[in-house]
Structure 1
Amino acid sequence: MKKVLIVAVFFLLTMVIAACGTSSGGSSSEGAVETEEGYKLVKKDSFSFASSGEFKPFSMTDGSGEMSGFDIDVANAVAKELGLEPVQHKQSFATIVEGVKNGRFDVAVASHTITEERLKEIDFSIPYYFSGAQIFVRPDSDIQTLDDLKGLEVAVSRGSTYADLMSEVTDNIIYYDSDVVALETLNTGRHDAVVTDFVTGREAIGAGMVLEGRELLERSEQAIGVAKGNDKLLEAINEALQKLRDSGELAEISEKYFGEDITTDPDDQ
C-alpha cells in the first residue's frame, strides 16, 4: 500500500511539473474569445490593455486607481475604432510584455520601444509615437555624454531599454518601477544621472524638477504590443492607428499632453 501511494504521488508531481513547463513557453491564447473578425480577446467585446500608470504624462493613476494620460487616450481611441470597450489594467512595466504574451491582456499600450529582444516575445503595431533616450542630471553636474557615465551610479526604469543601454556603460545601476520616481530621486540629490525618454525628462523639468538634459543617446519608436498569433487584431490596430494619424486625432492627443506632435515620424516632417 505504501509503495502504491509513493507511485501515485510521483505521478501527480510529474503531471504538475509537465503542466508548468507547458504554460511557460510561447504565447497563450487558451481561454481567449475569438470574434467574427478573427480577433483573439480576453473578454468578448472588450479591448483589454495594460499600462504602468507610473509614467507621467504617458500614464498616471488617480486616487481611485483609474489611469489617464497619453497612452491611455491612445488605447481608448484605438478601442473606439475597433468597436470594442476599453478595459484598462495597471501593471508593473517590467511584467507587461509577459502578461500580453501569456494572454492576461489583449495588448500593451505602455510606451514600449520596439526592440529585437521584445519582438522575440510579442508583435508590435506601427509606431504611435517617436522619441529617444536622454541623460538627465542636476545642473551642477559635469556629465555631458554617455562616456561620462562610465562607472557612475545611474537610475533607470526596470525592464526598460534604458536599463539595457546602461548595462554596457556601468555596473552601478539603480532600478525603479517608474521613470518619474527615478527622476524625483535624482532631483533630491541621489544618483549621478537618470537615463529616460527625453519627453518624460522634459515634462519633469516643466513640472518643477531642477534638472537638465544632456546628450541625446538614441532615437526610438514606440508601439502597441500584441501577442504572437493574434494577427487579425494586430492588423486592425494598425489600420486604426493609421486612421487616427490621417485624421489628425493622434496629433491632437499628443498636443493635449505635450504641447507638440510626437506622433509623426521626424523623417516625414
Structure 2
Amino acid sequence: MLKLFCLLVLSSVCVSASADSISRIKESKNIVIAHREALLPLSYLADDSKPVGYALDVCAKVVERIKRELKLPQLGISYLLVNSGSRLPAITEGRADLECGATASTAERRKVVNFSIPYFFNSTRFMVRQDSVLKNWSDLKAQRVLVVRGSTATVAMRDSNRINFKELSLSEAANTRDALRILEAGQVDVFVADEITLASLKSTSSTPDAWKVMGDSIAIEAQAIMLGKEDLALKAIVDKEIARLMLDGELNKIYDKWFMQALPDGRGKLNLPMSFLLRDSMRVPSDKVLY
C-alpha cells in the first residue's frame, strides 16, 4: 500500500524540493510543534499542562514518520503555545516547524504558508444564550456580534448573502478565552466561530447549559497541519503519513477517541459524528482545497 501513496495522495509535491525545516530538524535533532491553549478537542492543554487533542494525536503520528524518514530515532519534541494571532508568524518566522491546532487552509493563508492534507472539516455557526430568539443568520439585525481576531468568521459573514453585514455591530476578542469572558459578561449578543470552537467554549463555560449553537453553516473550513511555504520536503512526509492514517482506517480511531467518547481528562463528551466531507475525503486523500 505504501507504494501507492504518491498515486493516491493528490498532493502538490511528492518529492523533495526544499529542506529548510528538514535541515533545521536534522541539525537540532528536535522538532517544534505549535499548539493551541483551549480548542477542545483539537488542540488544548490538559490539566497537567501537556498539549493534547485530535490534532496533536495526528501530529504525533506524523512525527513518528519524520523520525523514520530522517533516521532520527531520538528526535526530540518541543512545544510552542500560539493563538489565532501568533500562529502564522510562528511558522513564517521559523519558530515552529508544524502547527497542530485548528487552522483552516484558505487561499489567503496559502500565499504565505503551506498546508497538509486536511484532517478535519469545520463549519461556521454562532452561539447565543439559551433564551435568545436568534435561530438563523437572517435573524441577525443590528446585534452585537463577536469574533476572534485572525479567525475566518468575519470573512464568512461578509461573503454570505444571507447576512446584512453592514448592520451588525462587530467586535473582536483577542483569543477564544477572551471571547468566552466577553460572552459570559453579556457584552455581546452573538459569538460567531467555527463549530468546534463553539462546542469547545460551550463545554468549558462555567454554565454550559446556558448556551446553544445555532445557524446553518455559512462556510466550510478544511483544517490541516500548517508548515512553511517552502518546506515541500517536509510537507511530502507529512502528507504521506496523513494519507496512511486515512487509508488504513487509523484516523477513524483517532477521531472516535476525541469526538465520540468522553474526553480523556473528563471534560465532557462532544458526540460529534464524522462529517460526510471528511469521510468522503479519506477515500482519496488530497491537499486540494476549494475554499
> What TM-score do you get using the length of structure 2 for normalisation?
0.71
CA contact 1:135–1:213 (8 Å) conserved in 2: yes
Pick from 36, 53, 59 the counterpart of residue 52 of structure 1: 36
Gaps of 5+ in 1: 1-28
Q: Per-residue deviation at 1:161?
A: 0.4
Which whole-Å CA distance do the structure 1 matches of 2:157 and 2:254 have between them? 31
Aligned twin of 2:236:
235
Change (3 A) 1:209 1:190: farther
- For the residues of structure 1 that align with 2:223 and 2:200, how far apart are their CA atoms? 18
Shift in alpha-carbon separation, 1:189–1:70, aligned structure 2, 3 A: same
Q: Residue 48 of structure 1 aligns to which amino acid in structure 2?
A: V
| Aligned residue in 2 for 1:18 | none
In the alignment, residue 211 of structure 1 is paired with which amino acid?
A: W
* Higher alpha-carbon Rg: 1
Contact 2:22–2:233 (Cα < 8 Å) also in 1: no
Tell me the residue number matched to 2:190.
193
The residue that corresponds to 1:147 in the other structure is: 138
CA drift at 1:152: 1.9
Amino acid at match of 1:200: T
Name the % identity.
24
Q: CA deviation at 1:73?
A: 1.8
Looking at structure 2, the residues matched to 43 and 217 of structure 1 have their Cα atoms a distance apart, in angstroms, of 45
Cα RMSD of the aligned pairs, angstroms, is 2.8
Structure 1 consecutive aligned stretches of length 4 or more whose deviation exceeds 6 Å:
none
Match of 2:179 in 1: 182
**Alignment length (residue pairs):** 236
**Aligned equivalent of 2:257:** 256
Question: How far off is 1:62 after superposition?
Answer: 4.3
Preserved contact between residue 35 and residue 43 of structure 2 (Cα < 8 Å): yes
Letter in 2 for 1:214: M
Distance 2:220 2:35 in 1: 22
- Aligned equivalent of 1:128: 119
Letter in 2 for 1:254: Y
| SS, match of residue 116 in structure 1 | coil
DSSP-derived class of the 2:131 partner: coil
Which residue identity does 2:277 align to in structure 1? D
1:60 CA displacement:
1.9
